[in-house]
Amino acid sequence: MSDSEKTFYITTPIYYVNDAPHIGHSYTTILSDVLTRFHKLAGEQTFFLTGTDEHGQKVQQAADKAGVSPQEHCDAYSKRFKDAWGELNIGFDKFIRTTDPEHIAYVQDIFRRLWDKGRIYEKEYEGWYSVGEERFFTEKELVDGKDPISGRPVEKIREKNYFFKMSEYQEWLIRYIEDHPDFILPDFRRNEVLGFLRQPLNDLCISRPKSRLAWGITLPFATEYVAYVWVDALFNYQSAVAGKKFPDGSPIWPADYHLLGKDILTTHAVYWTTLLKALDMPQPRHILAHGWWLFDNARMSKTTGNVVAPMAMKDKYGVDAFRYFLIREMVVGQDASFSEEALVQRLNSDLANDVGNGLSRILKLAATGLESRLTPVPSDGEEEAALKKAAGDAVTATLEKVKALKLSFAIEDTLQLIRAVNRYLEVKAPWKLAKEGPAGKDKLNSVLYHSAEALRIGFSLLHPVMPAKMEEALTALGVGVVGSNPVALSPLKWGGYDYAKPLGQGVNLFPRVETEKPAGQKSAGGPGGGPKPAPADPFSLVHLKVARIEEVEDHPNADSLYVLRLKVGEEDRTVCAGLKKHLAKEELRGRNVVMVYNLKPANLRGVESKGMILAAEGEGGKVIPVMPEGAVSGDDIKAADTPFEPKADLTLKEFDKAPLTVQAGIVRYRDRQLNSPKGPVRAQAPDGTAVR
């Protein structure tokens, strides 16, 4: 995959210092570590970069709050990541911090070069600044002279900022992505980026005045400004390796892989690439967006008490089992689900039964029959030749899949070899040979030597995933571990070790984890599944409330939307409604309506909408808001005989799963009518009309 045969430079995103390390950070970092170790195993020169992103408003605020300097705050918080990676056995080559003087100087140099090349221009504008939202609004965006999002007052500020001419590179970028099909991975992400680029690309504001944000990198050509944090952060990938070379003298940049979560793909695929282009610098070879870890039914876990805290799993079952699970279970690019049950399953069936037990049996056989000493012999027999071939095949197949980033499948190929050893032992029955005394000794040696060789190669292939445990395993075979490579000699080559040292004894690599199975309650499905919990009634998650429309305004940016100021009990709410085509302002003002109270806020053309007004959508596009009979603002609306467990930030999709319709003039969920404390919710619409 890599254009370069001998070198491999991989990066993780730099993590925001204020965050606490969690499974998302851990996965990205472990994945990078595993890939790095594999490439190292294949004999390449590698460089693995990770670090922390330390500038920005939130850092400044957190530091102020704690009464320390931003730098002190960063020093303390950055360390949490470094420590976490230590615990996860991450072998990074450099841990960069964006407050490193070298990084700051590098970024300043970049800004200077962009400025000299005329890629940056300044633009002065006057706008309305909302302190609460920390952003500008145009005159047009203001609602009632106030912040359209929070409704708070704004102040008029005249401000100058610097912009990067990103829009000029839109056509180039589209073509580049089309010409390099494996630039953005997986391929469906590439299509999404191309879709994003079908809309006009704006120039990028790359400065922040120090009057608003002081904690950042000062722009060399405008010292009263700091760099926009994303630009600052992205250049870490270069500043960290600036002037550095691989041992053979070849430069480290460009990166072979930028690993990242799908949420920051646009930043990398668009901002980063165009910035590099503007500087005539080589592009990274691949940008890989991986998926997320999901936890099914977190809710139920809480009530039953078996909360899955992924980071605690590494303490409970060991770092290597944790790493193995993450790499084995997630198909790179896809989402995957995390559960303790699945982790234990993998630990027992793959690691304990196959890997650990495989080693255990030959150590014991060698101890009883050969005093733990093996002598290399040629692979004359049919089974021996087959095992030797299986080892070679496993190496080829595993490394090929690693190159294609199919790590979960790569592991499976390696495990095939380990299983082949167990099968070979069954055929040769060395425990019988051991009982034949001196006569069987040569045969026994041959069987155990072949088994040990196959295992040694298998363990070496697993080493990138489970460095600590595999070092223990290889040591048990007498193989020394040099640096992070399993052996100084050929770790992946049959006959690569002479067994000069005796084998170890009594090694239990992965103790089985006993799972308590309540008697008489055998799990219905496989352990992966288990009985699926009954899904909650979709409507039970919905929180409807009566609201009074205080004010109706035109949306500043959208022809079909109103911006409604609502009073919900004592609370003020701003909601957008697509009612402009259907109703005049006067028809709405002062009216009581029903709103979805717990809907996740959405930004609709610049105005944040916190909720949604329910209306019957009749034939011919007629829209009639529903009427809560006699109810007052703030009343809850519930459906008869339906549990009421509102979920915070309900998505529109979740709401759509509980379709509402009109029957006999009353709004219903299925056949249950919706009531306020005062009476039913009515809508003058024909039976069957959908309400939304």
**Chosen residue from 600, 634, 642, 670 binding RNA by CB under 7 A:** 600
Tokens standing for 178? 């089309």
Subset of 290-349 contacting RNA (CB under 7 A): 329, 331, 334, 336, 345, 348-349
Which residue, among 685, 674, 563, has the nearest Cα to 624 in the 3D structure?
685
Which CB sits closer to RNA, 99 or 274? 274
Q: What single-letter amino acid sits at 418?
A: I
CB 221 within 8 A of CB 115: yes
The DSSP line for 276-302 is HHHTTPPPPSEEEEE--EE-TTHHHHH
Residue burial 293-317, b: 16+ Cβ < 10 Å; e: rest: beeeeeeebeeeeeebebbebbeeb
Quote the least distance from Cβ 21 to RNA, whole Å. 23
Candidate ranges 185-193, 230-238, 301-309, 545-553; the one touching RNA (CB under 7 A): 185-193
Nearer to RNA (CB atom), residue 88 or residue 575: 575
Q: Where are the beta strands (DSSP E) in 153-306?
A: 155-164, 184-185, 204-205, 207-209, 218-219, 222-227, 257-261, 286-290, 293-294
Residues 655-674 that bind RNA (CB under 7 A): 657
Task: Decide if 227 contacts 217 (C-beta within 8 A).
Answer: yes
Name the one range near RNA by CB under 7 A: 1-9, 87-95, 189-197, 660-668. 189-197
Contact with RNA (CB under 7 A) among 209, 261, 504, 601: 601
**CB 349 to RNA: min, Å:** 4
- Quote the least distance from Cβ 45 to RNA, whole Å: 31
In sign, the C-alpha dihedral spanning 84, 89, 90, 96 is positive
Whole-angstrom CA distances from 425 to 257, 386, 429 are 41, 13, 6
- Candidates 231, 395, 599, 626; binder of RNA (CB under 7 A) is 599
Is residue 201 close enough to count as binding RNA by CB under 7 A? no
Is residue 430 close enough to count as binding RNA by CB under 7 A?
A: yes
Map residues 248-277 to x or -, x wherever contact with RNA holds by CB under 7 A. --------------x---x-----------
Q: Taking CB under 7 A as the criterion, which residues in 388-427 touch RNA? A: 412, 419, 422-423, 425-426
Under the criterion CB under 7 A, does residue 584 sit at the interface with RNA? no
CA–CA separation, 288 vs 411, rounded Å?
20
Strand partners, 227: 207
Give φ, ψ of 546 to 5 degrees. -85, 135
Residue with Cβ nearer RNA (262 or 589): 262
Is 30 a binding residue for RNA by CB under 7 A? The answer is no
CA distance 5 to 18: 38
The count of chain residues that interact with RNA, using the rule CB under 7 A, is 72
At closest approach, how far in Å is the CB of 223 from RNA?
35
What 3-state class would DSSP assign to 594?
strand
CA distances from 679 to 613, 626, 637, 658, 667 (A): 19, 13, 10, 21, 12
Minimum CB–partner distance for residue 372 and RNA (Å)? 12
Whichever of 18 and 266 has its CB closer to RNA, that residue is: 266
- Shorter beta-carbon distance to RNA: residue 243 or 525: 525
Q: Is 180 in the site for RNA (CB under 7 A)?
A: no
Q: Nearest distance from residue 669's CB to RNA, in Å? A: 16
Site residues (CB under 7 A) for RNA, limited to 610-639: 611-613
Q: 219 burial class (0-12, 13-18, 19+ CB within 10 angstroms)?
A: buried
Please report where in the chains the tokens 């899949």 appear, as a residue: 401
Which span sits near RNA by CB under 7 A: 173-181, 371-379, 496-504, 509-517? 509-517
Return the number of the residue (311 or 513) whose C-beta is nearest RNA: 513
| Minimum distance from residue 485 beta carbon to RNA (Å) | 23
**Nearest approach, Cβ of 164 to RNA (angstroms)?**
20
- Name residue 164's beta-bridge partners: 120, 204
| Window contacting RNA (CB under 7 A); options: 156-164, 241-249, 317-325, 523-531 | 523-531
Please report whether residue 646 would count as binding RNA according to CB under 7 A.
no
Which of the stretches 9-17, 215-223, 239-247, 594-602 binds RNA when contact is defined by CB under 7 A?
A: 594-602
Q: Which stretch binds RNA (CB under 7 A): 55-63, 173-181, 601-609, 676-684?
A: 601-609
22 contributes a contact to RNA by CB under 7 A = no
Q: CA-to-CA distance for 527 and 341, rounded, in angstroms? A: 7
CA 647 to chain centre: 24
Nearer to RNA among residue 69 and residue 651 (C-beta): 651
Q: Binders of RNA among 349-388, rule CB under 7 A? A: 349-350, 352-357, 359-361, 364-365, 368
> Is position 509 an interface residue for RNA (rule: CB under 7 A)?
yes
CB 495 within 8 A of CB 501: no
The token pair that represents 240 in the structure block: 């960290």
* 197 in contact with RNA (CB under 7 A): no
Q: What track of x and - describes contact with RNA for positions 32 through 71 (by CB under 7 A)?
A: ----------------------------------------
Q: Does 561 bind RNA (CB under 7 A)?
A: yes
Q: Rounded to whole angstroms, how far apart are CA atoms 8 and 32?
A: 11
- Min CB(526)–RNA separation in Å: 3
- CA quadruple 231, 232, 234, 235: dihedral sign: positive
